[in-house]
Amino acid sequence: MKFTKQREALAKKIFSTRSHFSAQDIYESLKDRVQISRATVYRTLNLLVENHIIEEHDFGRGKKFYEFILGLESHNHLICLRCGKIEEFKSDLIEKVVDEIARERNFKVSRYSFNVYGYCSECQKELFKDEKRK
Ligand SMILES: [Zn+2]
Ligand SMILES: [Zn+2]
């Protein structure tokens, strides 16, 4: 029952990861323990996205990211353009705005996510250290 074992390991990995991951991340973390193909990883991820168990994100990094969402509240992301760090944040203010827009347009919201791009505090230090020396 190789198939079942693969799927089980894959599902366990995905459901226990509480951060943002790429298909490659999942594949890398499993490939030494289970015989698994990239195609299986992609197929499974797509299936879980279709069933709203995980969410797909385009964080502008040239690959798709995923995160487990089932039963979790909506949140937003701060994405560092330099190191790729992704920080999550929640905001009552944004929540209110989303509710208001949805009400105005008679739209039933199931989820939302704002992506904010910029530079994290660490990268700001790196990027601007030359300027400070002058
Ligand atoms: Zn950074
Ligand atoms: Zn997130």
In the reported structure, the alpha carbon of residue 106 is separated from the centroid of ligand 2 by a whole-number distance in angstroms of 26
Q: Which CATH number fits domain 73-134: 3.90.380.10, 3.30.1490.190, 3.20.20.140, 3.40.50.10170?
A: 3.30.1490.190
Which tens digit of pLDDT belongs to each residue from 76-98?
Answer: 999 999 999 999 999 999 999 99
Buried-exposed string 39-63: b where 16+ CB fall within 10 A, e elsewhere: ebbeebbeebeeeebbbebebeeee
In the reported structure, the alpha carbon of residue 123 is separated from the centroid of ligand 1 by a whole-number distance in angstroms of 4
Q: Where are the alpha helices (DSSP H) in 18-120?
A: 23-30, 38-50, 92-104
What CATH number was assigned to the domain covering residues 1-72?
1.10.10.10
Q: What is the DSSP letter of 21?
A: B
In the reported structure, the alpha carbon of residue 91 is separated from the centroid of ligand 2 by a whole-number distance in angstroms of 13
Q: Give the CA count within 13 Å in the CB-facing half-sphere of 98.
A: 16
The residue-averaged pLDDT of 10-32 equals: 91
- Ligand number nearest to the C-alpha of 79: 1
In the reported structure, the alpha carbon of residue 103 is separated from the centroid of ligand 1 by a whole-number distance in angstroms of 36
pLDDT > 90 fraction of the chain, expressed in percent and rounded: 64
Q: Contact 61/75 with Cβ under 8 angstroms?
A: no
In the reported structure, the alpha carbon of residue 61 is separated from the centroid of ligand 1 by a whole-number distance in angstroms of 13
The model's confidence at residue 120, banded by pLDDT at 50, 70 and 90, is very high
- Ligand number nearest to the C-alpha of 87: 2
- Report which residue type is found at 92: D
The residue-averaged pLDDT of 23-52 equals: 92
**Which residues, chain by chain, have CB under 5 Å from ion ligand 2?**
67, 88
The model's confidence at residue 2, banded by pLDDT at 50, 70 and 90, is low
Q: Which residues contact 122 (CB under 8 A, 6 or more apart)?
A: 83, 85
Which tens digit of pLDDT belongs to each residue from 51-73?
Answer: 999 999 999 888 999 999 988 88
Mean pLDDT of the chain: 90
- Ligand number nearest to the C-alpha of 118: 1
**Where do the structural domains in the chain lie, given as residue ranges?**
1-72, 73-134
pTM, two decimals, is 0.81
Region of poorest pLDDT, from 22-31, 70-79, 123-132: 123-132
